[in-house]
Amino acid sequence: MHQFANPARFMRIAGMALPWFSVAAVVLFATGLFFALFDSPPDYQQSETVRIMYVHVPAAWMAMFVYTSLAVAAASSLVWKHPLADLWARANAPLGAGFTAICLVTGMLWGKPMWGAWWAWDPRLTSVLVLFFLYLGYIALVGAFDDPERGLKAGNVLLLVGAVNVPIIKFSVDWWNSLHQPASVLRMDGPAIDPSMLLPLLLMWGAFMALFGALAILRLRSELMERRLSALRLTLASQPAGSRSSSNEPGLS
């Protein structure tokens, strides 16, 4: 990872990767949504509402994936002082919060017809809600200091503390009697989901990943540009006034 630590090299490579991610996101969303909405069977119990799954489940995976990536970035920032790791966390926390919000909202929409309630105080739902608040807390903490570096460092500690929640989310359906259904894709004895439903699910997951990749690159590039801008402004401001504007002060000498 260290050869990407040079911001200029990162900008170049990211700039080359961006169109690929964008095209992949568009293509995967188009095919994935086609399969999800039209060319997959309705569930024998849930009938058509099962199609919410093709948005809900990938969003939930992304919510956890993004948080894990932020926590890894926080650790590598604390250990190796990797210059892009801090920025990665700050740039992508809003994306993770967005995925978590999508997951929660689609889950509520799905819960109403299936469980008869918008919300249930179930371990899985509660732990994902906590994840959402961890994202919000991180965003608020990073923005709360006059010195942005200090905010980033404090945020890294918070990200690592909050990482306790990730395994709790994953295993909450196994540890407690839960209303939420247990894992049906990532299982020791193979996925318990029919191939006709697994295909659109995986396509949608790929689409979410590609979308996240494209947005992450965009946000990271704008973070870097913002940092460069503020550095330029600081150098400009620290120069003596005389060297900036030719002469509009009479001078005392």
Partner 1 sequence: MRGFLALLVRDLRLALRQGSDAVMAVAFFVLVILLFPFGIGPEPNMLARIAAGTLWVAALLASLLALERLFQHDYEDGSLDLLVLGRLPLEVVVLAKVLAHWLVTGLPLLVAAPLAGAMLNFPGSGLPVLLASLALGTPTLSLIGSIGAALTLGARRGGVLMSLLILPLYIPVLIFGAGAVEAAASGLEVGPHLMLLGGMCVFSLVLAPLAAAAALRQALG
Encoded tokens for 2: 């260290």
Q: Does 137 bind partner 1 (CB under 8 A)?
A: yes
Which of the stretches 84-92, 103-111, 127-135, 196-204 binds partner 1 when contact is defined by CB under 8 A?
127-135
Measured between alpha carbons, how far is 172 from 178 in angstroms, rounded to an integer?
8
Segment near partner 1 (CB under 8 A), from 82-90, 104-112, 128-136, 178-186?
128-136
Using the rule CB under 8 A, is 144 a contact of partner 1?
yes
Taking the C-alpha atoms of residue 172 and residue 56, their distance in angstroms, rounded to an integer, is 17
Closest approach of partner 1 to the CB of residue 134, in Å: 6
CB closer to partner 1, 155 vs 213: 155
Q: How far is the CB of 123 from partner 1 (least distance, A)?
A: 9
**Of the residues 9, 81, 112, 150, which one makes contact with partner 1 according to CB under 8 A:** 150
Number of residues that bind partner 1 (CB under 8 A): 21
Please name which of 72, 74, 70 lies closest in space to residue 94, comparing C-alpha atoms: 70
- Return the number of the residue (146 or 249) whose C-beta is nearest partner 1: 146
> What's the CA gap between 251 and 253, in Å, rounded?
6
Within the chain, residue ranges assigned H as helices are 7-37, 53-80, 83-115, 123-142, 148-162, 165-175, 195-238, 241-244
Q: Which of 15, 46, 62 lies closest to 220 in space, CA to CA?
A: 15
For position 126 contacting partner 1 by CB under 8 A, the verdict is: yes
Question: Measured from the CB atom, is 109 or 132 closer to partner 1?
Answer: 132
Residues from 67 through 106 that contact partner 1 (CB under 8 A): 78
Tokens of 64: 């956890």
CA distance 90 to 74: 10
31 in contact with partner 1 (CB under 8 A): no
Residues in touch with partner 1 (CB under 8 A) = 78, 126, 130, 133-134, 136-137, 140-141, 144-146, 150-151, 153-154, 157-158, 160-162
